[in-house]
Structure 1
Amino acid sequence: MSTNLKAHLAILGANLIYGINYSIAKDVMPAYILPFGFIFCRVLGALMLFFAIGSYIKEKVEQKDLLKLAVCGFFGVAANQMMFFYGLNLTNPINAGIIMTSNPILVLIVSAIILKTRITANKILGITLGIAGALIILLFKKGFAFGSDTIVGDTFIFLNALSYGIYLVLVKPLMSKYKPITVIKWVFTFGFIYVLPFGISQASEIEWSSFNPEIWLKFLFVIIGTTFFAYLFNIYGLKKLSPSTVSTYIYLQPVIAAFFAISVGKDSFTWIKLIAAILIFSGVYLVSKPISSKNQ
């Protein structure tokens, strides 16, 4: 199996986890854990797993790169997760999903500014197809309503998309110097430092005795699957793929969420969903297809 194919499968795996997570995390939060308390548990739990795995890989990080990793920890873990959860509490899931379609566009712009990557016709067309597919899924749901009541929440969701876009671009050069586990271990170390003062209070309020076996399984899925494996898969894929390609996979999340809901009997299959999936996969293919080595 080629390295690029493994990278694509890793990113696909991460987005499969994210898509399933929508149906799982909402059963835990906020009924059992408040948002910032959940972020605290996610980051701490994943950090412990990254250190457990990283203990077998001895790789020294140059001191000059620690500042870069600290910045990545801010944008990729703390700001990314806290602004998303805070924004989601002030808007609705449909608005959030629509605004998140801006992420690959923001990544393309930030990549052009910081990494000097070329904005090719393939990337523009691919992102356009991805947006079209995601919007088809999202706009056919009820609950879409931009307005003054959601403006604060919508703004934080947009800042979340921008934050994650900046993270993908800033962390890319570090992947050429270090192993994925080394990078993500340090990113989460700094991310936890930033999250600690915001999440420790809500984390201390968790009533663990109220968790039944089902809630425990869903809680562990969010910690191990959505945080540990999804971040690890993304960072692995980013070592071989461009930030634009990695970000374009976000368009799969509404489709994955829809088909997962169908599989558990919470939704029904329609041709609209199939068309949306075809558009999104076509978009991912175009964005990831290089015209020349300079476009990677």
Structure 2
Amino acid sequence: MTTASPSASLASTAAAAPVSHPPAPASRKLWSLYLRLTCVPVLWGGTFIAGRVISAHLPPATAGFIRFVFATLALLVTLHFTEGLRALTQVTRRQLLGTMALGATGIFAYNLLFFTALSVLPAGRTSLIIALNPVVTLLIAAALLGDRLSATRWLGVALALLGVWVVVTRGDLSQLVQSLGKGELAMFGAVCAWAVYTLVGRKLLQGLSPVLATLWAAIWGTLFLGLLALRDMPHVHADSFTPEVWAGLAFLGVLGTAVAFVWYYEGLRQLGAARTVVFNNLVPVFGVLLGWLILGEPLSASLLAGGALAIFGVFLVNRVK
């Protein structure tokens, strides 16, 4: 899930599964589908803005827990109208353990690290680091699962890493170690957690629909986050829940997770992966743009140059042959 946002993106599990390449739908419906797919990276880019606002008021575990209470409820509604709630019980023991692993990595660990990073880093900067998700996933798959990378994808990996290096060091490439603070390390940890989430989903959840897999992962992740959030209760006060915080949590859970996921999977199902994954490249673009427009974050030369390199590198990595 988020997307791809991360959050940006939860659709990575769906994208990782074999997806056919159907013909494009009728032209009268095509514009509506492309409009929804264009909104997906806007929503996933917006998760960084909402996360930045929320992390100033709530501890990471509490923020993640409430976010996924909203997300779980929204996904339950989605399941009701797509497969029926009885589908929740139609999972094997192996699939249930697989969704627990998804909840531990892509929901629990990712959100703890996501909100920790956004408590100290600007939203736009964070969205560019998270753009490394497909790169790290590809490298882990190559190292541990024997996946082969084409020369084009190796070039994409190199450009994406160089771009994020420029962003992290603010253009001074010799200062990498000195530039790595709590926020950067937390975000790199989130990238690794999401990569594991994606690969676990690819290997363990065959035969399980993306909506059902994501819902079970959200249930497990909410449980894990809730247990940790109990520790934060003495430090969380009612005045922390401002209207902006509630709006951000609802946005993250409903729009940034459930709605964006459903729209993204519609694209995978109707257009195929080759045309749909291209929209993922817009997530950091909207993350940076919305950070500038809504939060007033500065657009430095190193941020723009490094971001362009990273986005182009990820585009090459995401190319479907």
Do both proteins adopt the same fold according to a TM-score greater than 0.5, normalized to the shorter chain? yes
Q: Pick which of 120-129 and 172-181 moved more.
A: 172-181
Q: Are residue 185 (structure 1) and residue 215 (structure 2) matched?
A: yes
1:294 alignment counterpart: none
Cα distance change of structure 1 residues 163 and 50 upon mapping to structure 2, 3 Å threshold = same
8 Å Cα contact 1:100-1:158 kept in structure 2: yes
Cα distance change of structure 1 residues 64 and 211 upon mapping to structure 2, 3 Å threshold = closer
8 Å Cα contact 1:16-1:256 kept in structure 2: yes
Give, as a single letter, the amino acid of the residue that structure 2 aligns with 1:27: V
Q: Deviations over 1:84-120 (max 9, x none)?
A: 334555x645886675455333211222255542111
Match of 1:50 among 75, 83, 86: 75
8 Å Cα contact 2:60-2:115 kept in structure 1: yes
8 Å Cα contact 2:98-2:205 kept in structure 1: no
2:230 alignment counterpart: 200
Residue identity over aligned pairs, in percent, reads 20
8 Å Cα contact 1:133-1:279 kept in structure 2: yes
Secondary structure of 1:117's aligned partner: coil
2:160 alignment counterpart: 130
1:229 alignment counterpart: 259
Cα distance change of structure 1 residues 248 and 102 upon mapping to structure 2, 3 Å threshold = farther
8 Å Cα contact 1:134-1:254 kept in structure 2: no
Q: Pick which of 228-237 and 174-183 moved more.
A: 228-237
| Deviation for aligned residue 1:227 | 3.4
Cα distance change of structure 1 residues 30 and 169 upon mapping to structure 2, 3 Å threshold = same
8 Å Cα contact 1:77-1:187 kept in structure 2: yes
Cα distance change of structure 1 residues 39 and 247 upon mapping to structure 2, 3 Å threshold = farther
Cα distance change of structure 1 residues 273 and 198 upon mapping to structure 2, 3 Å threshold = closer
Cα distance change of structure 1 residues 182 and 112 upon mapping to structure 2, 3 Å threshold = same
- How many residues are aligned here? 284
8 Å Cα contact 2:108-2:224 kept in structure 1: yes
Cα distance change of structure 1 residues 116 and 11 upon mapping to structure 2, 3 Å threshold = farther
Q: Pick which of 213-222 and 199-208 moved more.
A: 199-208
Match of 1:79 among 86, 105, 109: 109
Supply the distance in 2 between the matched residues of 1:247 and 1:191 (Cα, whole angstroms). Answer: 28
Q: Deviations over 1:260-291 (max 9, x none)?
A: 24444825778877766664554344223344
Q: Which runs of 5+ in 2 are unaligned?
A: 1-22
| Deviation for aligned residue 1:177 | 1.6
Supply the distance in 1 between the matched residues of 2:152 and 2:315 (Cα, whole angstroms). Answer: 9
Q: Deviations over 1:227-249 (max 9, x none)?
A: 3334556677788649xx96994
1:28 alignment counterpart: 54
| Deviation for aligned residue 1:184 | 0.5
Supply the distance in 2 between the matched residues of 1:254 and 1:2 (Cα, whole angstroms). Answer: 27
| Deviation for aligned residue 1:71 | 1.0
Q: Which runs of 5+ in 1 are unaligned?
A: 292-296
Give the CA RMSD over aligned residues: 4.3
8 Å Cα contact 2:168-2:180 kept in structure 1: no
8 Å Cα contact 2:100-2:217 kept in structure 1: yes
Q: Deviations over 1:187-246 (max 9, x none)?
A: 11111222121013436865556655444433321222233334556677788649xx96
| Deviation for aligned residue 1:165 | 0.4
| Deviation for aligned residue 1:51 | 1.5
Match of 2:98 among 44, 64, 68: 68
Supply the distance in 2 between the matched residues of 1:111 and 1:8 (Cα, whole angstroms). Answer: 30
1:119 alignment counterpart: 149
Secondary structure of 1:119's aligned partner: coil
| Deviation for aligned residue 1:65 | 1.5
Supply the distance in 2 between the matched residues of 1:277 and 1:95 (Cα, whole angstroms). Answer: 9
TM-score (norm 1): 0.72
Supply the distance in 2 between the matched residues of 1:128 and 1:14 (Cα, whole angstroms). Answer: 27
Q: Are residue 219 (structure 1) and residue 249 (structure 2) matched?
A: yes
Supply the distance in 1 between the matched residues of 2:287 and 2:207 (Cα, whole angstroms). Answer: 35
Supply the distance in 2 between the matched residues of 1:51 and 1:179 (Cα, whole angstroms). Answer: 14
2:62 alignment counterpart: 37
Q: Deviations over 1:158-201 (max 9, x none)?
A: 33221110111111245652222111111111112221210134
Cα distance change of structure 1 residues 221 and 153 upon mapping to structure 2, 3 Å threshold = closer
8 Å Cα contact 2:137-2:196 kept in structure 1: yes
Cα distance change of structure 1 residues 226 and 104 upon mapping to structure 2, 3 Å threshold = same
